[in-house]
Amino acid sequence: MTDTVLLKIDGARATITLNDPAKHNRLDTPGLGKLKAAIEKADADPNVRVTVLTGTGEKSFCSGYDLGSISSGKDVKPPEGDHSFETVMDRLEAMRMPTLCALNGGVYGGATDMALACDFRLGVRGMRFFMPAARFGLHYYPSGLRRYTQKVSPSFAKRAFLLSEDFTDEDLLRVGYLDWLVDRADFARKVDETAAKLAGLAPLAMSNMKRAIEQFAQADPNIPKIRAGIDECRTSDDLREGLAALKERRTPAFKGR
């Protein structure tokens, strides 16, 4: 059986690869556990000065969380705890040294936040993006909403979440979601070049400035109120209808309750 998350450490560079191209590198709960373990192993290695996160194949970087594994019962609830999507993305963001997300293809759903949890994003021409949460009634978790708002803009967050808008590669570069956009022929070279530059800079200064920049960018939202909204959506008829419509490949009929 193919391992769905690979970790390679080569001197100062760690590379984490999502390795399930047949499923667009989609993550389920066991896959999230493997990703978290790879993040922690790379982060614990004192020689690692940069971590690259990428995917296998040329079609998709990652299509996010496996929605088919979310319960469609009375209380529709994604996994919680150490291997929840939110926890793993927060752990990725908290890595001590710089991270580069090398988006080898399209990025969808929760994977859009995974890329934002990294410090830099390099895209390949032809990639696309969408966040489908509103299409089936899911309220996104607080730290993901923060990253969208903080690292790109409130306008982009609203276009992605409230309009569920599809974005092209050029759109993503223009709004600031991507730091670089290159042709596929130049992709591997640009990844290597950027990772080598990050690995060659002063690690103590890099680590401390990374933390300082993130602290300056923090806001002070009402997290309990946001989580109350999440709970309201999590137990709603709309979310159950949205997930059922997704499974049945039909247009959902939302009731606002």
The angle at the Cα of 69, spanning 68 to 72, to the nearest 5 degrees, equals: 75
Question: Among the listed ranges 8-22, 52-66, 144-158, 229-243, which one has the minimum average pLDDT value?
Answer: 229-243
Task: Output the pLDDT for position 53.
Answer: 98
pLDDT band per the 50, 70, 90 thresholds, residue 86: very high
Asked if residue 228 is part of any domain, the answer here is no
Asked if residue 201 is part of any domain, the answer here is no
Task: Report the percentage of the chain scoring pLDDT > 70.
Answer: 92
Asked if residue 190 is part of any domain, the answer here is no
Mean pLDDT of 20-39: 95
According to DSSP, the β-strands at 128-130 and 167-168 are antiparallel
The region that residue 50 occupies, defined by phi over 0 for left and psi between -120 and 50 for alpha, beta otherwise, is beta
Mean pLDDT of 80-98: 88
Place of tokens 């490949």: 249
| Predicted confidence (pLDDT) at residue 135 exceeds the cutoff of 90 | no
Structurally, how many domains does the chain consist of? 1
Task: Output the pLDDT for position 205.
Answer: 86
Asked if residue 210 is part of any domain, the answer here is no
Residues 6+ apart with CB under 8 A from 45: 9, 14
> Tell me, what CATH number does 41's domain have?
3.90.226.10
19 to 2, 23, 58, 82: CA distances (angstroms): 8, 9, 12, 21
Mean pLDDT of 124-128: 97
Where are the strands (E) in the chain, listed by range? Answer: 5-10, 13-18, 50-55, 60-62, 99-103, 106-108, 120-124, 128-130, 167-168, 180-182
Length reported for the chain:
257
Top mean-pLDDT range of 130-139, 159-168, 210-219, 229-238:
159-168
What pTM was computed for the model? 0.85
Asked if residue 189 is part of any domain, the answer here is no
Asked if residue 202 is part of any domain, the answer here is no
Asked if residue 241 is part of any domain, the answer here is no
Per the prediction, the chain carries an average pLDDT of 90
Task: Output the pLDDT for position 191.
Answer: 98
pLDDT band per the 50, 70, 90 thresholds, residue 231: confident
Task: Output the pLDDT for position 78.
Answer: 52
Task: Output the pLDDT for position 229.
Answer: 78
45 touches 9 (CB < 8 A): yes
According to DSSP, the β-strands at 60-62 and 106-108 are parallel
Mean pLDDT of 63-89: 69
| Predicted confidence (pLDDT) at residue 75 exceeds the cutoff of 50 | no
Task: Output the pLDDT for position 236.
Answer: 84
Asked if residue 205 is part of any domain, the answer here is no
Task: Report the percentage of the chain scoring pLDDT > 90.
Answer: 67
Q: Which domain holds residue 174?
A: 5-184
**What is residue 155's three-state secondary structure?**
helix
